[in-house]
Chains A and B, each alone.
Chain A
Amino acid sequence: MTYALFLGCKIPYYVPHYETATRRVLGDLGVKLVDLEFPCCGYPMRHLYFRSYLLSAARGLALAEARGLDITTPCKCCFGALKRAQKFLADKPELMAEVNAELAADGLNYQGKVVVKHILQVLHDDVGLAELGRRVVRPYELLRAAILYGCHAVRPSEVTHFDDPSNLHLIDDLVKVTGATPVPWAGRLSCCGAPVRERNEDLALATIRKRLSEARDAKADILVIACAYSQMQAEWAYSLAGPPPQREFIEGPVLYPQLLGLAMGLSAQEVALERNTPNGEYLLSFLKRD
């Protein structure tokens, strides 16, 4: 299991804990991650500069292809943008030809061979639930988890192929294997508000606040996230929300590799829980005691 790690632009500065936990957990599970100097997936450019988006995404895909590697990314928006670009290019051969002519200046070529997977797909399908079950040495008890599936992974399903669109279960399976209990809640398939933040900050904030309240209403203990943008949104909302007693939200957002890593016996530092906003170390109290 070797993948080129497409970290995306947001993780290094805004969500470094995601990188720490992802590398550690995937590494421990035998997934080899290769670092290439990837460009932006193009997602942020797509609103105004479609061709730039497509070219940037295609460059990333071509870089992995040149090395004969498939791509895995922790970010749902990078995932969606890359998958979308693959579909755009596959659907329209003349677009593919134009993009390849532009890539040729750097000696690159995209042929559509590279497979793009989200890290959760790698965990679910490549590592497998059985192996994960074996590696969970310290399961959670009585931990109710609200899962945010992530728009750009789930939809459009004909493009992303993230999971079975009529019966999404992939993240539920991954949460169950840690001993936590996924709870039904209103915001499971809803948007975190990140994509509109630059265009309408109020709407972006209202959207993530709604998610956090919905999760609290469902009596969840944590919000499970596996996307750089959703985590940024949730942390932004918490940073504006003031100290814990006044909060109308649930305890906090946790990135899936952090959740899994702790259950695999890793320490809070090894999955960088202290970097979460709010500090994610409360999660430790849910781990089964010997």
Chain B
Amino acid sequence: MFFDLALNISLAALVLGLAYRLWRWLTTSIGPDSRNYTPIERLSASLKGLGRALASRRALPMLAALLLDGLLQRRSLGHSRWAWAAHMLIFWGMLGLIFLHALGPLIVPSFTATLNPWLFLRNLFGAMLLAGALMAMWRRLRTPGLRRTTHWADRAVLGLLALLVLSGFALEGAKIISVHSFDSMIEEYGTLSEDGERAALGQVWREQYGVVFPQGQVPPGLELMEQGLELHNDSCVDCHDRPQWAFVSWPLSRLLAPLAAWLEAVRAALWLYYLHFLAAFAGLALLPFSKLLHIFTGPLLLTIRAAGSREAMDPAARALVRALELDVCTHCGACSVHCSVAEALRHVPNLSVLPSEKLLALGRLARGTAGHDEALDVMRQGAYLCTSCLRCTRLCPVGINLQDLWFAMKDDLAEMGYGPPVREVAKRADETAGDSRNLVPIHLGHSEFPRELGLTVQAETFRGCYRCATCSNSCPVVFSYDDPVKELDMLPHQIMHSLGLGLSEEAMGARMTWYCLTCYRCQEACPQGVKVADVLYELRNLAAARQGQGESC
């Protein structure tokens, strides 16, 4: 009764959760080009596209993707062989257990869980799942690149899987030694006529099946074995293979044997039974609300991927796929472990530099829960530190086109007024410089400033400037404007000279500092050895640091 109620509740949560997710795929927009499509348009474009692909020659690659990338998880080999092994163990172990617990009794006539091969297989699949979950946990704890992106949800899912298997093994172990189980089986299936027969059967089950009887119930010797075996063959053997085949639960039952009386008294087997099925149903109910959802969405996306390129996709269908991709991510961390710009994290403590975390940020952005300006600033920094090197997209085991999402994210951010950080820093530096620029005469200040320019050894070289303007005369930026002083605020030689005067804000705010092409003509030409281009680089760094947009040290 309670079992059925719990099952039905979890199934209802599953169905409602899936419907909710589907609704999100139809309504969440990523990138300005995804908006303006109704849910109906998205759905019909996607179904049409899928239908067309299945009817074409693309069907074969789609099937191959489903088998190789879905069932055999070929793509995760590109990330790590250990990750692949762990996930294969979890995936096939889980699939086997689902078959044995839910589908086997429906499909196989005369299915009996306590007979081989099922008895053995149940332990095998359980051991696989447990080993996979432990490997995954170990990797998350031990791999530095993975540890920093591991969230409580990642641990919770692995913990739930481990709980599921461990409670199953414990339940089986407790039942092996349980006299209560022995008696209820006699009651249900046995045809014993007298009390002596229970003792006889008890001797067989004690010796061969590991039941632990309290003292006095079953005589300690073996004198009743012959009679017991006869009863056993009549009533039990058809449904029970030796529990030693349960190669995990059997040794566990031997460990539990000394506690048998206590376990029986607290009805441990019953509680373990509740724990076991509730853990399973919790997994079922949480599936649409957690990364477990990738069980469904992963193969779907891998198949869609094989149907054609993202560029060729109908924009309405692309809108749906992008939203779907947010829910395919398993947060496995492959992208972040291999990210080209992960080193930046050491000095720019912003986790959304890493693809796996940036995807979470994108989810908040797309659902309008990104929050305040500061959060958007952080997102912008992550989005623009990305070099679009494509590595994460090539690696993603579930085939998310992250590159496409990053471009769409930048477009969304730009629309909200969050373009490249470097432009924002330049703008703020310009505003800061604006006031003093209009003062005549200019007030000198910030005598501390030259000391801040110390990132590199040549920072001090600006002191050698004697305003010959060779740098400005060799600068292609200067020659790109009709009235360079007006459009660039200061020319390179003026910036170098003003540094000597301590006019830091004017130098940082000058548009010249930000429009520098870094072609190094100035530096190459300077007769005084002033490292003009490198000093301009440092000025940009310094402006960012002063605005709190730069590095933390």
Contact = CB atoms under 8 A, between A and B. Distances in A.
Interface in A131-167: 151-152, 154-157, 165
A46 B343 CA distance: 13
B551 A156 contact: no
B145 to A, nearest CB: 9
A55 B550 CA distance: 15
Interface stretch (B13-21, B49-57, B286-294, B385-393): B385-393
Nearest to B393: A13
Contacts of A49: 344, 347-348, 385, 541, 544, 550-551
B144 interface: yes
Contacts of A241: none
Given A51-B553, A55-B346, A156-B520, A12 B390 contact: yes
Contact of B343 (A37, A56, A203): A56
Contact of B387 (A9, A50, A55, A207): A9
Given A151-B518, A195-B517, A200-B515, A52 B389 contact: no
A77 to B, nearest CB: 9
A196 interface: yes
A270 interface: no
A79 B519 CA distance: 14
A14 B407 CA distance: 13
Contact of B342 (A39, A47, A156): A39
A52 B524 contact: no
B110 interface: no
A92 interface: yes
Interface string B455-480: 11110000000000000000011001
A151 B524 CA distance: 11
Interface in A18-68: 37-40, 42, 44-52, 55-56, 59
Contact of B391 (A12, A59, A165): A12
B493 to A, nearest CB: 17
B388 A207 contact: no
Contacts of B276: none
Contacts of B387: 9-10, 40, 44
B544 A48 contact: yes
A190 B550 CA distance: 30
Nearest to B342: A39
A218 interface: no
Contacts, number: 145
B388 A195 contact: no
B343 A206 contact: no
A198 B516 CA distance: 12
Chain B interface residue bracket vs A: 35 or more
Nearest to A159: B520
Nearest to B521: A155
Interface of B is mostly: helix
Contact of A151 (B422, B519, B531): B519
A222 to B, nearest CB: 22
A240 interface: no
Given A49-B347, A199-B423, A203-B477, A40 B340 contact: yes
Nearest to B550: A48
Interface of A is mostly: helix
Interface string A78-98: 000000000010011001000
A9 B389 contact: yes
B348 to A, nearest CB: 6
B541 A206 contact: no
Nearest to A204: B517
B500 interface: no
A199 B515 contact: yes
B389 A92 contact: no
A102 B524 contact: no
Contacts of B523: 155-156
Chain A interface residue bracket vs B: 35 or more
Query: Quick one: which of B425, B515, B516, B520 has the most chain A CB within 10 A?
Result: B520
A198 B389 contact: no
A91 B390 CA distance: 34
Contacts of A10: 387-389
B494 interface: no
Contacts of B544: 48-49
A130 interface: no
A268 interface: no
Nearest to A206: B480
B388 A155 contact: no
Interface string B510-552: 0000111111110110000001010001101100100001110
A195 B518 contact: yes
Nearest to B394: A12
Contacts of B388: 9-10, 13-14
Contact of B341 (A40, A51, A102, A157): A40
B87 to A, nearest CB: 21
A227 B531 CA distance: 24
A105 interface: yes
B403 A13 contact: yes
A105 B519 CA distance: 35
A91 B457 contact: yes
A47 B422 contact: yes
B429 to A, nearest CB: 11
A59 B343 contact: yes
A49 B384 CA distance: 12
A151 B347 CA distance: 28
A47 B534 CA distance: 10
A281 B524 CA distance: 37
B480 A102 contact: no
A261 B343 CA distance: 36
Contacts of B515: 196, 199-200, 203
Interface string B375-399: 0000000001101111100100000
20 contacts: A9-B388, A10-B389, A14-B388, A39-B343, A40-B389, A47-B422, A48-B549, A49-B544, A51-B346, A102-B346, A154-B520, A156-B533, A191-B517, A193-B517, A195-B519, A196-B516, A198-B420, A198-B422, A203-B480, A203-B515
Given A47-B537, A105-B144, A199-B422, 13 more contacts: A8-B389, A10-B389, A14-B388, A48-B425, A49-B551, A88-B456, A151-B519, A151-B520, A156-B533, A191-B476, A195-B519, A196-B518, A199-B515
Interface of A: 8-10, 12-14, 37-40, 42, 44-52, 55-56, 59, 88, 91-92, 95, 102, 105-106, 151-152, 154-157, 165, 190-191, 193, 195-196, 198-200, 203, 206-207
The 4 nearest A-B residue pairs measured at CB? A155-B520, A9-B389, A9-B387, A191-B519
